[in-house]
Amino acid sequence: MVRRRSLTIASVNVNGIRAADRNGISLWIADRRPDVVTLQEVRAPDNIFSEHVDRLWGKEWHRVHAESAAKGRAGVAIISSHSIANSRIDIGKPAQRFNDTGRWVEAAIDIPFLDQPLVVISAYVHTGDAADDGRMEEKLSFFAAMTKRMETIRSSGAHVLLTGDFNVGHTELDIKNWKGNRNKSGFLESERSWFDRWFNDLGWVDIARNLAGPVEGPYTWWSFRGQAFDRDVGWRIDYQIASPEFAAFAATSAVDRAPSYAERWSDHAPLVVTFKV
């Protein structure tokens, strides 16, 4: 019997790399030991980000980081035990306005046992505001730019894995209180329709949903306010979305929810997928 080789990829909005470090992310890293980690809301300049990577993962780990021009805002990164052949923060024309916002970074990662190159993306989509047309235009334009870039990478023949915090629950199964959020950003039809297009028209695969089936959640974000975490009143807004050829390797998916409110190091929990090739 041929032994299948595995690759574990985790994605998490850390709500600030410095805060996550103070609050205990190191324990999760040591316990889970993923091969690749994608981060959102790094909220740190490049030098601070690298200092934390060196301490938390090790100096030998490869990393790429898209820092936001707005100090203390956004920021996305990819950290890998495998070498990174090249990286890019340009989401493509005509969306250059997003290039300095710290919301998109991609890395071509050398995985020796894959038949094609693997391009991993870490994305952080705008929160949006249903009462603000400008903020919604910015969010929906980012989805349009994402879709165009996703298809461009896929057309190159590479395996593609899009990860991140997209600030949208796709279906009623993805938000505990979906009825109360029907007219709010995060559950608007104009946002959710992008996911319909990806999955129904273009053939991309929502790995967590594909493996979990039609169950509530599994949620990845809970407000720090009230008893949302203890009552599991959450949202599934963090995703790993793959080109169909790469999605075929997905074996398991899990949300690493903290054991208790006191042990949380972010308001999000890591979404971890293991691929077996």
What pLDDT is attached to residue 4?
A: 80
CATH number at 72 reads 3.60.10.10
In a domain, 128, yes or no: yes
Q: Is the whole model's pTM more than 0.95, yes or no? A: yes
Question: How many residues are recorded in the chain?
Answer: 277
Catalytic residue from among 115, 165, 230, 238 = 165
What pLDDT is attached to residue 36?
A: 98
In a domain, 1, yes or no: no
HSE-CB for 197 with a 13 A CA cutoff: 13
Instruction: Tell me if residue 165 is catalytic.
Output: yes
In a domain, 18, yes or no: yes
Q: Which domain holds residue 117?
A: 6-276
What pLDDT is attached to residue 69?
A: 94
The domain tally of the chain equals 1
In a domain, 102, yes or no: yes
Peptide bond into 214 cis (omega under 30): no
What pLDDT is attached to residue 2?
A: 59
Structure tokens at 10: 């985790």
Low-confidence ranges of the chain (pLDDT < 50): none
